[in-house]
Structure 1
Amino acid sequence: MAELVYRPVIGIAKTAFKVWDLKIDCRGSENIPRSGGAVLVSNHISYLDFIFNGLAALPQKRLVRFMAKDSVFRHRISGPLMRGMKHIPVDRGQGEKAYAHALDALRSGEVIGLFPEATISQSFTLKSFKSGAARLAQEAGVPLVPMAVWGTQRLWTKGQPRNFKRSHLPVTVRVGEAVEAPRDQYAGAITRRLRERVQELLEAAQRAYPGRPKGPEDSWWLPAHLGGTAPTAEQLRTVQA
């Protein structure tokens, strides 16, 4: 079936990245299967993460169908695009419908992308993972492919203004080897193993990242344990309590 929306959107994204002069360092794309279903799993630090996750799959000639909250599909601009790219809306009150949709897509050989943290991490550290990715992979009989992105929070994240100017910012993407999801294993154990792998990839992306804060006022995007001023997970829980 022709991709009348997805491929033009990819072209627009690539053009925007050139205009912004982003320095994208993506490694490990060969770990994404060239055929058959797979579940791509990534950390979540920016509203743009799915774009960079999707770009990582292009060398393998794969288009990723992302699971995203249904409000994005109701927006007058993003809604038609998300539907045209065949992404999957998630109504948190009726999650079983999105789960069934994703399962059908996987069984038909599609690549599904999701963020098991469910929401953006404002501490820029890895939050706990929900088990949906592991359960989907188990039921569909497909592999889980761990990924990590870093630097995307400097473009557009929760609580910060968008930075869509020509900023020359670096963005690092790392894709790891597949994590198998045998049906006879507990989904929680697979989820823990998957989270550990994403954490390893995130740390590798951070080590490889060439950007550093220009001063204290520019350290908001760096987590506290790396010397930045981003709030810790504990601080965020206190504020939200």
Structure 2
Amino acid sequence: MLYWWSKYVLLGPLMRLLARPTIEGLEHIPARGGAILAGNHLAVADSFLVPLLVRRRITYLAKREYFIQPGFIGWIKKVFFTGVGQVPVDRAVGSEAQAALDTAIRLLREGKLLGIYPEGTRSPDGRLYKGKTGVARMALEAGVPVIPVAAIGTNKLNPIGSRMWRPHHVHIRIGEPLDFSRYAGMAGDRFIERSMTDEIMYTLMELSGQTYVDVYAASVKERAAAREASRLPDSQAG
């Protein structure tokens, strides 16, 4: 109930006003059953606008800390993230990466529509970066298709570092499902998983029109942060 209230009453009207969103390829979203929506990641707004335009509920994974902060602010955060369809990753089972993988596979086997970003983080400059192979492992373990989803213009609506959204048209382009059933039973094969992930990223490149960069976005951000730190006086760098 909270999800639908947020989508149609609280956040939906405002997002439609600011983004004037359009979408194509809705027929590629299955009416039922588990599937992965693998998207490019230009802005935080991606996780709000795609669910706004897709009839089925989309679940995204989020840090458990978003749901357990005490006090009134913590309650507000919990209500907000629950309302936009995010679920906490339980890291009690081990590493954060393994916990996210296990949670995703469970949700997919339950027939949920799972939204993920193979790049692992937002693009620092609007280009499309190398995908991490977790998306392939999820698809193989759960036996579900991967549906590519390209967001176009969200980085203009919601630039990195901005506190407020800026009016800008956003277009969402959904591609045909990618069927990897030919690799059934091959989860854990790093060459197969890399091949699958590269196919997903190539499809996203075609849908989005972005320039592809064959390095991880996180590595680019780390190098940029290191360069910035090296420019600071010692008193600020510490």
Q: Gapped runs of 5+ residues in structure 1?
A: 207-222, 224-231
Which runs of structure 2 are paired with 1:220-231 in the superposition (5 Å)? none
Shift of 1:85: 5.6
After superposing the two structures, state which structure 1 stretch, 150-159 or 123-132, moved more.
150-159
Change (3 A) 1:99 1:237: closer
Report which of the two has the higher share of helix: 2
CA distance in 1, matches of 2:30, 2:66: 28
Give the 3 Å change call, closer, same or farther, for CA 66–36 of structure 1 in structure 2.
same
Corresponding residue for residue 234 of structure 2: none
- Preserved CA contact (<8 Å) 1:40 1:147: yes
1:163 corresponds to: 165
Structure 1 residues 57, 118: CA separation in 2 closer, same or farther (over 3 Å shift)?
Answer: same
Question: How many Å separate the matches in 2 of 1:48 and 1:133?
Answer: 21
Cα deviation for residue 237 of structure 1 reads: 6.0
Matched, 1:191 2:188: no
Report the equivalent of 1:239: 224
2:229 maps to what in 1? none
Q: Residues 121-140 of structure 1: matches in 2 within 5 Å?
A: 121-140=123-142
Residue 201 of structure 1: aligned partner: 207
Question: Per the alignment, do residues 238 and 99 of structure 1 end up closer, same or farther by CA in structure 2, a change over 3 Å counting?
Answer: closer
Match of 1:107 in 2: 109
Closer/same/farther in 2, CA of residues 8 and 97 from structure 1, 3 Å limit: same
Deviation at 1:134, TM superposition (A): 1.2
Partner of 2:50: 53
Which residue in 2 is equivalent to 1:41? 38
List 4+ stretches of structure 1 deviating above 6 A: 232-235
1:67 match: 61
Q: CA deviation at 1:155?
A: 2.5
Instruction: Give me the whole-angstrom Cα distance separating, in 2, the residues matched to 1:93 and 1:122.
Output: 26
**CA apart distance, 1:135:** 0.9
Distance 1:127 1:150 in 2: 15
SS of corresponding position for 1:170: coil
Larger radius of gyration: 2
Q: What letter corresponds to residue 39 of structure 2 in structure 1? A: S
User: TM-score normalized by structure 1?
Assistant: 0.75
Aligned counterparts of 2:63 and 2:164: Cα–Cα separation in 1 = 20
- Is 2:140 the counterpart of 1:143? no
Structure 2 unaligned residues grouped into runs of 5+: 187-191, 212-216, 227-238
Secondary structure at 1:105's aligned position in 2? helix
Would you say the 8 A contact 2:145–2:179 is kept in 1? yes
* Matched residue, 1:88: 87
Instruction: Report SS of the residue matched to 1:142.
Output: coil
User: For 1:93 and 1:235, how far apart are their aligned partners in 2?
Assistant: 23
**How far did 1:29 drift?**
1.1
Contact 1:123 1:233 (C-alpha < 8 Å) held by counterparts: no
Q: Contact 1:144–1:178 (CA<8 Å) still a contact in 2? A: yes
2:60 partner letter: F
Contact 2:28 2:175 in 1 (8 A): yes
What corresponds to 1:15 in structure 2?
13
Q: Normalised by the size of structure 2, how large is the TM-score?
A: 0.76
Corresponding residue for 1:173?
172
- Structure 1 partner of 2:233: none
